[in-house]
Amino acid sequence: MLARYRRILCQAKAWRRLRAPVLAPIAMSTPTPAIHVAVIGGGPAGLMAAEVLAAGGAQVDVFDAMPSVGRKFLLAGKGGLNLTHSEPLESFVGRYGEQAAAVGEWLKAFGPQVLRDWAAGLGVSTFVGSSGRVFPNEMKAAPLLRSWLHRLRVAGVRFHMRHRWQPDALLPQGEQGGYTLNFAGPAGPVQHQADAVLLALGGGSWARLGSDGAWVVPLQQAGLDVAALQPSNCGFDVGWSEHLVGKHAGAPLKGVALAFTDSAGRHFKRKGECVLTATGLEGSLVYAASALLRDEIAAHGGATLHLDLLPDKPIEALIEALARGRGTRSLANHLREQAGLSGVKAGLLREGMAAEDWALHSREAAWLAQRIKALPITLRAARPLDEAISSAGGVRLPALTPGLMWRERPGVFLAGEMLV
């Protein structure tokens, strides 16, 4: 029986990134014609599994608790739908930290370029943005999802919406070696028989779109090793002054560089954009450093990063410009005229400083230039999990076979953001 299950599928979790959902490939041998596979979860990981299973000859049924599939995927599309990144594969794999070796093996079969080719096969062309990130030409998710669902239906994949899996009666084995699945359907309880099951239930962020993390406790109780879900690709609380929030909340910080070194010596530095929110900072640049920042806060109660507000201007040139006579001009006018600094960036310079200290130092060109080039900002807490773009934590890989089958439940596979 185990040999039969191993022929069914080998699901690999491919990526978990800033503003983008997980799209994971499957490497598999052609299943026997009578194989019936239930995919629970209609996000990108579940849909990708369904596509490859159907192409291999399996009969696939996709179940999802929501009225339609891909809801979080569509939300990501409102921000342009960052599908992947164009950086060299070695750097791309390095983003996965402790799991880089395992994910690197998966990406050999389904890397960033293969993903772009897959999208092109659905009639969706992509382009590389100035940041190196890859987007659909139309910057929308809906056209890709429509084409994808059409292809799945043509391939014979059947969809069952508003069917919430009941994991409390966890996958009891049937007499024939398969599984009896219980669902709460729109018309009442539903049972479904399957030879194999693929769980693609997502993480714990944006619960209203379906990824509510409700599977964690039942699977832990069933003996699966699951790490607690945490926010990833998330914003952080700072605790700004009322004055700064009143004037600049929601303002973008464009063309800045973020630097951070944690207590273990791990270093992050990158140029990009973020947003000053009513509570702190969020946006792509912050998301990229979020794992290091989150862990540092958990370990030490806070994390201090440094923002370079003018990363393209050398500090020597900045000191020279700021040292030019200010005369009767206000500091705001001086910063704008000599350094090109205004708006939210200028507002941030005084944040967190006592009035007497600001009055003492703000006329010193070297001090002011150093603050512009390395503005310290202390983060107090990550924003709640439900607000995060994605979640960290989930099922630990040692609990699964190399083909991502639950070792204690032959024929049950896991995919996507459920994996840590």
In order of their start, the domains of the chain are: 2-232+391-418 (3.50.50.60), 236-382 (no CATH)
Residue 294 pLDDT class (50, 70, 90 cuts): very high
Q: What is the pLDDT of residue 329?
A: 80
CA–CA separation, 93 and 4 (whole Å)? 32
The tens digit of pLDDT for each residue in 303-359 reads 999 999 999 999 999 999 999 887 778 888 989 999 999 999 999 999 999 988 888
Average pLDDT of the chain, as a whole number = 88
Interval 265-274 mean pLDDT: 95
CA–CA separation, 260 and 303 (whole Å)? 9
Cβ–Cβ < 8 Å for 341, 309: yes
What percentage of the chain reaches a pLDDT higher than 70?
90
232, 178, 225, 233: which is closest to 414 by C-alpha? 225
CA–CA separation, 197 and 191 (whole Å)? 14
| 3-state class (DSSP) for residue 6 | helix
CA–CA separation, 248 and 174 (whole Å)? 60
Cβ–Cβ < 8 Å for 395, 412: no
Interval 239-245 mean pLDDT: 96
Between helices 331-339 and 343-350, what is the axis angle to 10°? Answer: 130
CA–CA separation, 73 and 416 (whole Å)? 13
| Residue owning tokens 């530095």 | 269
Interval 197-212 mean pLDDT: 94
pLDDT higher than 80, residue 164: yes
Q: What is the pLDDT of residue 130?
A: 85
Interval 87-106 mean pLDDT: 89
Residue 22 pLDDT class (50, 70, 90 cuts): very low
Q: Where are the alpha helices (DSSP H) in 95-141?
A: 100-109, 112-121
Q: What is the pLDDT of residue 34?
A: 62
Interval 5-11 mean pLDDT: 36
pLDDT higher than 90, residue 149: yes
Residue 4 pLDDT class (50, 70, 90 cuts): very low
Interval 292-298 mean pLDDT: 96
The tens digit of pLDDT for each residue in 32-55 reads 556 999 999 999 999 999 999 999
Cβ–Cβ < 8 Å for 29, 401: no
DSSP bridge pairs for 189: 184
pLDDT higher than 70, residue 26: no
Rg (CA), the chain: 25
Q: What is the pLDDT of residue 382?
A: 97
Q: What is the pLDDT of residue 97?
A: 81
